[in-house]
Amino acid sequence: MRSLVFDELRRDDLEKVRAHLQDILPQSSLPDVFWLELPPDLLSPLQIEHSQSCGPHRVAVVIEEESVRLEFLVRAQESLRCACTEYASKAQREFCLGFMDRLLEATGIRT
């Protein structure tokens, strides 16, 4: 899977990330998996077409043992096997990178 990983994080840094993500993102039914919803103006034409039936479209932010990972697979909330689930476009990746930069800044983590 294509993703961005910040690894070799200390336990207290991971706790800062977890607390921050719990404040700003919805959590999935899985532990330490959060959803970053993409803004409507960044959706692909197919994702826009499917926004009512499949949306919202989002990417996963996952806290792991010593890392935080953002997946570049844009998933549809209401459908696991639809063509609107696809890897992030360049604009969507830029949005995700900006989010991760802001996450590090907000938590004071230095990588």
Residue-wise pLDDT for 53-109, tens only, equals 999 999 999 999 999 999 999 999 998 889 999 999 999 999 999 999 999 999 999
Reported pTM? 0.94
Q: Cβ distance 75 to 37 under 8 Å?
A: no
Q: Total domain count for the chain?
A: 1
Q: Domain containing 25: what range?
A: 3-107
Token pair of 1 as six digits: 């899977």
DSSP-H helix ranges across the chain: 11-24, 45-49, 90-107
Which residue has better confidence, 111 or 98?
98
Q: Cβ distance 31 to 50 under 8 Å?
A: no
